[in-house]
């Protein structure tokens, strides 16, 4: 099945001849590399949970009591958007999505560390907690552990694909 599908593509490489000497990209075939096989499915699940948690939490807080702690609630909403984008990238798969997810995980990790430190250093700026307060302690430290494991997984996904 796959062999017959790939046959029409194969001769093209031969006709191109010298042009085929450019940067090799074996992973960029017609099929996107799956990012949700094996441990990836666990990452998708945990990110999905965080999306629901962060988005619904900030939606309720922003719509009912935004004036109480605008900074904290906005940060929760941003966290939810970042989680949503990473989840979508993981499910979509492929090299571009993998890189985008990697960048977002780094941003997420930076966000957790910055906001976590900020909440400890200047509690007065946060009358109410965010998803990332105290390095995500209210969420079993998942917000700080998740980007680390996701970045490990995404880096490994490239080495296996190449």
Partner 1 sequence: MFDALTAATAVAALALAAWCGWAAHRDQPTKDWHFIGMAVVSLLALVQLVIGVVQLARGEKPEQGTTIFVAYLIGAFACIPAAGFMSLAERTRWGSVTVAAGGIVLAVLEVRLYDIWGG
- Contact residues toward partner 1 (CB under 8 A) are 36-42, 44-46, 48-49, 52, 56, 60, 64, 140
In the bound state with partner 1, the residue whose beta carbon lies nearer, of 46 and 161, is 46
Least Cβ distance, residue 101 to partner 1 (angstroms)? 18
In the bound state with partner 1, the residue whose beta carbon lies nearer, of 41 and 120, is 41
Q: What is the DSSP letter of 137?
A: G
Least Cβ distance, residue 14 to partner 1 (angstroms)? 38
Contact 72, 133 (CB under 8 A): yes
Residue entry with tokens 């619904």 = 56
Least Cβ distance, residue 126 to partner 1 (angstroms)? 19
In the bound state with partner 1, the residue whose beta carbon lies nearer, of 113 and 137, is 137
Q: Is residue 46 within a helix (H) or strand (E), and if so which, with residue range? A: helix 39-65
User: How many residues comprise the chain?
Assistant: 162
**How far apart, in whole angstroms, are the C-alpha atoms of residue 108 and residue 71?**
17
In the bound state with partner 1, the residue whose beta carbon lies nearer, of 56 and 117, is 56
């Amino acid at each position: 099945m796959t062999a017959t599908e790939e046959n029409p593509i194969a001769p093209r490489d031969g006709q191109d001849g010298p042009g085929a000497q450019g940067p090799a990209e074996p992973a960029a075939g017609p099929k996107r590399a799956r990012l949700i096989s094996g441990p990836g499915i666990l990452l998708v699940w945990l990110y999905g949970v965080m999306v629901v948690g962060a988005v619904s939490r900030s939606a309720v807080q922003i719509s009912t009591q935004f004036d109480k702690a605008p900074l904290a609630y906005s940060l929760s909403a941003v966290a939810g958007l970042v989680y949503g984008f990473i989840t979508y990238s993981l499910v979509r798969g492929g090299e571009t999505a993998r890189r985008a997810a990697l960048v977002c995980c780094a941003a997420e990790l930076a966000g957790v560390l910055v906001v976590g430190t900020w909440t400890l250093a200047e509690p007065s700026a946060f009358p109410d907690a965010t998803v990332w307060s105290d390095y995500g302690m209210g969420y079993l430290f998942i917000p700080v552990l998740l980007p680390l494991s996701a970045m490990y997984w995404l880096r490994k996904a490239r080495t296996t694909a190449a």
